[in-house]
Structure 1
Amino acid sequence: MKNLLFFTLLSIGLLSSCKDDEQDQNVLPEATQSGKNTAGALINGKVWVATTKKLNSNNDGTYCEKLNENYLIKLDLRKNPDRYTESIYLIVSIPNLEINQTYEVINQTPDDGYNYATYISNDKVSYSSNPNNSGRIKITRLDLQNQIVSGTFEFKAKDSNGNIVTITEGRFDKKFD
């Protein structure tokens, strides 16, 4: 009987100490640098957390590559794998990248090539960065061997009607997809 009581209490203790790996959607994820596949930001002051760790195979996803002296970094952060769901997409080309240096490089439109950001809202409205609304990115870890990129970002973007969305306190800790 004592053994049964002991094992029952032990089981309850073990089960109650298990952590839920799901990210709380009401709290920004910690700014980590270990490839936890977390990302989030404040969008117009409201918490937004990416929940998809990998997109389907026909999308580029998150990655970084070195081209001569430039580092090309693409971040694809989404609520789910559907291509047209709420998402944040950044692509930047940074020459001679230094870790923990802030770069004001998010200042173009998607039509310009690199150095832009987009946000697609729940109702599928697309907001894009532009030269009048610059943004920043800071890479806090770049590990090409282990395929991890971590850092912070912020930017403003405008839709086709001139409405502006402000994205602040962005953070990411991603393994390449």
Structure 2
Amino acid sequence: MKLLNLHLIFIIMVLVLFNSCVDLRDSDFHPDKEDSRLPRYTEKGYDVAGALIDGDAWRVERHPFTEIMLFDISKVDTVVFEMYGKMIDGNGKDDYVSIYIYQTNIEMSTYSDLKQLECNEIILDGVKNYAEIKYFPIREERFTYKSGTGKLNFKSIRDIKNVTYRDPQNRFHSHPVHFSGIFELSFENQAGNLVEITKGRFDFKVDLKE
């Protein structure tokens, strides 16, 4: 299924732009007790994420640039969840790596429908629901692994209704929503070997426009 087709698409894009010059003190990074390279699992809207890619640590730890593209929520069928991060150690240390997770054929007619994702384990079969991982090596050409399988679980989706933001022209207002969850993914590389993403966790704050 092509993402750009006759169906209008509601895309939730969580774009996490990691700045290598930012000190850890500028983010809400709280290390995991079992593996200090990763953030511990939280549900506080800390704007962090982490995972092990074939045992090497990948991490997002900077406040995300978050954008919601809304074309027509009455004819929506695809949600795209994107995370931009960086390898912390291993042979690919300092390489940027982005993870994309696609869920198709999901009906959402209002913002409140996002809540339906909470506590649901989404099985990625590599076809209907699938993942992609894109590598941006410092010294090599970029490459992508597609048709990833695995699972994604939004363990908590918390609507912070008592906080409202307005733009200067008062054209719209928004309020924060905390998205937290876990994920595990598998990809096949060019050599036919599996690339395993394990111990994935995320805790983001997203501003929903109204």
TM class by shorter chain equals: 0.5 to 0.7
Is residue 86 from structure 1 mapped to residue 97 from structure 2 by the alignment?
yes
What is the Cα deviation at residue 34 of structure 1?
1.7
Task: Indicate the SS of the match to 1:107.
Answer: coil
* Structure richer in helix, relative to its length: 1
Report what 1:3 is aligned to: none
Question: Is the alpha carbon distance of 1:37 and 1:176 closer, same or farther for their aligned partners in structure 2, counting shifts above 3 Å?
Answer: same
Report what 2:153 is aligned to: 138
Is residue 27 from structure 1 mapped to residue 44 from structure 2 by the alignment?
no
What is the Cα deviation at residue 175 of structure 1?
1.9
Aligned CA RMSD, in angstroms, stands at 3.7
User: Would the aligned equivalents of 2:58 and 2:85 in 1 still touch at CA under 8 Å?
Assistant: no
Tell which structure's C-alpha radius of gyration is larger.
1
Structure 1's unaligned 5+ residue stretches are: 1-18, 56-60
Moved more, 69-78 or 29-38: 69-78
Superposed CA deviations along residues 23-50 of structure 1, whole A, max 9, x for unmatched, are: 3695211111121101000111222211
Report what 2:123 is aligned to: 104
User: Would the aligned equivalents of 1:52 and 1:77 in 2 still touch at CA under 8 Å?
Assistant: no
User: Would the aligned equivalents of 1:86 and 1:124 in 2 still touch at CA under 8 Å?
Assistant: no
Report what 2:132 is aligned to: 117
Question: Is the alpha carbon distance of 1:169 and 1:147 closer, same or farther for their aligned partners in structure 2, counting shifts above 3 Å?
Answer: same
User: Would the aligned equivalents of 1:148 and 1:173 in 2 still touch at CA under 8 Å?
Assistant: yes
* Structure richer in strand, relative to its length: 2
What is the Cα deviation at residue 52 of structure 1?
3.8
TM-score normalized with structure 2 length:
0.53
CA distance in 2, matches of 1:75, 1:63: 12
Report what 2:90 is aligned to: none
What is the count of residue pairs matched by the alignment?
145
Superposed CA deviations along residues 129-164 of structure 1, whole A, max 9, x for unmatched, are: 42xx52100001224642322111111113344343
